[in-house]
Structure 1
Amino acid sequence: MNIGQGMLLPPAGRHWMGAIRLAITLLGLPFTTCTPGTRPVVLRSSYPLTRTSKHIKPAICGGYCKLYTTTIGTMASSAASHVKSRCPQYPESAVNRFPVPDDKVNWNQNWPQYNPVSYTAPAVLKKPFWADPEIGSFSPKFNTVDGAVDRTSFEGSYRVENGKPLNPFGRTGLTGRGLLGRWGPNHAADPIVTRWKVDASGAKIIHSASKKPILQFVSIKRKDCGEWAIPGGMVDPGEEVSLTLQREFSEEALNTLSLKQSEKDQMHKRIKTLFSSTGFQVYKGYVDDPRNTDNAWMETVAVNFHDEAGNSVSALPLQAGDDAGQVQWVDVDSCFALYASHSHFLELVARERKAHW
């Protein structure tokens, strides 16, 4: 899923610090490159923090999944942070977007000169099972559940012009679907699986600077960009988000697709125990993603599932799936740079769990 603006650490320093942090984390040491009493400027997300949970709608979750939100830990979308969706060069292509200045992002701003580039990736045009056909060859029903495909948006009703949906956060400089399969919202789910970092006796390890216990989360190293991230993926047509969260974690962090059936059964029991616990809904809404276009965009639900006792998934062997290069338990810490807005997801989890950040 995909980072906003604000004061940033120099790129070279950020990568150096991230590499050192990861090495120390994997050794299991409660160390941070931040000095007590100071914090580096955190890489700001495209999602601003909010003190209200009014933006969060009732969970799209069924079966055994139970979610809750609090006034301390929720994120709200913001039209002011439509930044990565206007990145000059579209990902995995040589296509350049039509430049969109900040004051012309809003659709309500009259701009006769707007001449966006039209682009849909060849892989999408080949009509894989996860992608829609081109508009004209079919007539999707927007702002509703269209057969098995949910075309509603977490942001409310969106506009449709000339048979095509309009990005609710404004112009991107590119029409079509780009790398995204669905016209309109493309729904994803991000499971944030955490546990307490403990010593040999099982006692929580307290951070020397914050004096708070340290959380660890399951992190994957993405193959496409080499950055560490929360495992996640797209919601299949007709699939409940609760199942997507479990499936994506199982496939990306545990590589269950490669296991024998007997091993799958044992692993599934522990996974179900974790995911049947009450999850903390961290965020639900629009994602400022470089893959977004005027007619297709990313939305996600990020949920934290916490292994409080350390007896559900903590003991399972982590193994990277097809979309991940590596997978590890990593300390939750503001000094560890992550892909996209994932750092802010973890910041809210740390606040909710009263853990070190």
Structure 2
Amino acid sequence: MSEITIVPAGLRDCAVSWPDYAPVDVTPEELLPRALEREVPFWAEGAATPDAVTDWAQRQAAALVPFQLDAQGWPLHPAGRTGLTGRNLGRWGENVAADPIVIAGTGSDRRILLGTRDDIHQEAIPGGMVDTHTGETAPAALVRELREETGVDLRDHQPVILGTGLVDDWRQTDHAWVASTFALYVLPATVAATAADDALDTTWYPAGSMAALESAIAAAGRTLYAAHRPLIARALAGAALITAA
């Protein structure tokens, strides 16, 4: 990932004047204007800049996390400046994701299903983007992403929706970010899982506690994706309450 411009806490709010702000453009080659003129990737919209997007009112109305447009009509990250600009995601503005967190067992025998992401090679929740092109819903995306990345089919299981919110995704910029629906599946025992799609590996890690999980990941010579740490901690607490009921 490109080096970012460090944003002091007092200047994160876009409403605060910062004349010298110089965010780093992280737009990959395939999303640059000249590339989009030749071919639009299947996972992306064809708008080279936010000016070409015509449905901002609808996007704002449907957003999981409210956001505003600046004076030139560009979407602004709800959490403020990121130090990055351009687009390294499929859509300008909010990119909607679904993150299924699967936990099996109870107490010290509890396990959590994580996958090794092929983009950053870190252990993460096996989630992904909602297919907004087809009108896919978040509940449907939870099932699809889990099945595609791990081979685990939980279509007959009812998850607990933990909430929605911003994800501190490494691809986010001032004008494109990720907001997700976080859901918890609690199983009595682990089930067979096989890595597929954009997961390099799939593992049931010990998760009796957050400390136990992080120790197990470190012992395997791997790293937990920092953006998913608070989601996993919340899910572990939720699973403990469910299994204790």
1:49 maps to none
Q: 1:298 to 1:118 in 2, by over 3 A?
A: same
**2:7 pairs with 1:100:** yes
Secondary structure of 2:234's counterpart equals helix
The residue type paired with residue 302 of structure 1 is: F
Question: Hey, what does 1:30 align to over in structure 2?
Answer: none
Paired-residue identity, % = 32
Equivalent-residue separation in structure 2 for 1:234 and 1:182 (angstroms): 11
1:350 CA drift (Å)? 2.5
Find the counterpart in structure 1 of residue 116 from structure 2. Answer: 221
1:282 is aligned to 2:189: no
How much does 1:334 deviate? 1.4
Aligned length: 222
User: Compared with structure 1, are the counterparts of its residues 228 and 157 closer, same or farther at alpha carbon in structure 2 (3 Å cutoff)?
Assistant: closer
Give the AA of the match of 2:21: Y
1:140 maps to amino acid: T
Which sections of structure 2, spanning at least 5 residues, go unmatched?
215-223
Mapped contact 2:113–2:125 kept (Cα < 8 A) = yes
Q: How does 1:173-212 map to 2 (within 5 A)?
A: 173-177=83-87, 179-196=88-105, 206-207=107-108
Three-state SS of the structure 2 residue aligned to 1:341 is helix
Deviation at 1:304, TM superposition (A): 0.4
| 1:326 aligns to 2:201 (yes or no) | yes
Aligned to 1:129: 42
Deviation at 1:301, TM superposition (A): 1.2
- Using the size of structure 1 for normalisation, the TM-score is 0.56
SS at the partner of 1:120?
Answer: coil
**Counterpart among 165, 181, 184 of residue 75 in structure 2:** 165
Distance in 2 (CA, whole Å) between partners of 1:217 and 1:349 is 10
Superimposed CA distance per residue, residues 208-248 of structure 1 (whole angstroms, 9 cap, x where no aligned partner): xxxxxx42221112233332221011111111011110111
Amino acid at match of 1:194: I
Cα distance in structure 2, aligned partners of 1:285 and 1:136: 22
CA contact (8 A) 1:151 1:185 kept: no
2:180 is matched with 300
RMSD across aligned positions (CA)? 2.5
- 5 Å-filtered alignment, 1:142-161, equals 142-145=56-59, 152-161=62-71
Matches within 5 A, 1:17-36: none
What's 2:217 paired with? Answer: none
The one-letter code matched in structure 2 to 1:236 is D
Deviations along 1:242-265, one digit per CA (max 9) or x if unpaired, are: 1110111001011xxxxxxxxxxx
Q: CA deviation at 1:293?
A: 0.9
Corresponding residue for residue 55 of structure 2: 141
SS in 1 for 2:148: helix
Match of 1:236 among 92, 109, 131: 131
* Structure 1 residues 346 and 168: alpha-carbon distance in aligned structure 2, compared to 1, 3 A threshold: closer
1:346 aligns with one of 208, 232, 240: 232
Alignment pair present for 1:248 and 2:145: yes
Q: How far apart are the structure 2 equivalents of 1:142 and 1:112? A: 27
Aligned to 1:113: 20
State the Cα distance separating 1:347 from its structure 2 match: 2.2
Bigger Rg, structure 1 or 2: 1
The corresponding residue for 1:67 is none
Distance 2:77 2:13 in 1: 10
Distance 1:166 1:232 in 2: 24
1:283–1:345 CA contact under 8 A, matched in 2: no
User: What is the TM-score of this pair, normalised by structure 2?
Assistant: 0.80
Change (3 A) 1:164 1:307: same
Closer/same/farther in 2, CA of residues 346 and 180 from structure 1, 3 Å limit:
same
Q: Is the 8 A contact 2:51 2:74 kept in 1?
A: no
**More helix per residue:** 2
- Note closer, same or farther for the CA distance 1:334–1:98 as it changes in structure 2 (3 Å cut): closer
Residues 230 and 122 (structure 1), Cα distance of their counterparts in 2 relative to 1, 3 Å cut = same
Q: How many angstroms apart in 2 are the aligned matches of 1:354 and 1:99?
A: 38
1:346 and 1:171, CA in 2 relative to 1: closer, same or farther beyond 3 A? closer
Q: Please say if residues 141 and 151 of structure 1, whose CA atoms lie closer than 8 Å, have aligned partners that are also in contact.
A: no
CA distance in 2, matches of 1:136, 1:242: 28
How far does residue 151 in structure 1 lie from its aligned partner after superposition? 7.4
Q: Is the 8 A contact 1:215 1:350 kept in 2?
A: no
Cα gap change, 1:354 to 1:241, in 2 (>3 Å): same
